[in-house]
């Protein structure tokens, strides 16, 4: 079954607020995580990634936090804008030797930004 899941299926925030999207994973062997953003009618778009040897990584207005102790991942979006409205997916990578890998995606969180 799914080893990556999301705590909240929907999140509604006001424009300008900070958003936090959470993700739980169950396999402690996962060594790499990615956040994707999917807007209506489009494919998932890469946002930010983090390796398991890190606990924080920052991008432009986004920060990903990784807590390996409780197998939890979060995506923080600063000063959320209407253009941030989308479904956000976390994905984990389980290494399986050599160049074989498989990304497992969570079911997604719908973020709605109210003007």
Partner 1 sequence: KAGVTQTPRYLIKTRGQQVTLSCSPISGHRSVSWYQQTPGQGLQFLFEYFSETQRNKGNFPGRFSGRQFSNSRSEMNVSTLELGDSALYLCASSSGLAGAHLAKNIQYFGAGTRLSVL
Structure-block tokens of residue 2? 């799914």
**Is there binding between residue 7 and partner 1 (CB under 8 A)?**
no
Given the complex with partner 1, which of 2 and 15 has the nearer CB atom? 2
Asked if 83 is part of the footprint of partner 1 (rule: CB under 8 A), the reply reads no
Q: How far is the CB of 20 from partner 1 (least distance, A)?
A: 20
Burial-class residue 23 by CB neighbours within 10 Å (0-12, 13-18, 19+): buried
Is 22 near partner 1 (CB under 8 A)? no
Interacting residues with partner 1 (CB under 8 A): 2, 32, 34, 36, 41-46, 49, 51, 89, 91, 93, 98-108
């Amino acid at each position: 079954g799914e080893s990556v899941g999301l705590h909240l299926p929907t999140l509604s925030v006001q424009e300008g607020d900070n958003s936090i999207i959470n993700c739980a994973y169950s396999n402690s062997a996962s060594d790499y995580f990615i956040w994707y953003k999917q807007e209506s009618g489009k494919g998932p778009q890469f946002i930010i990634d983090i390796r398991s040897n890190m606990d924080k990584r920052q991008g432009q207005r986004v920060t990903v936090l990784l807590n390996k102790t409780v197998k939890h991942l979060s995506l923080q979006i600063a000063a959320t804008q209407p253009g941030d409205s989308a479904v956000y997916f976390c994905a984990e990578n389980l290494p399986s030797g050599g160049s074989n890998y498989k990304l497992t995606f969570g079911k997604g969180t719908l973020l709605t930004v109210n003007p």
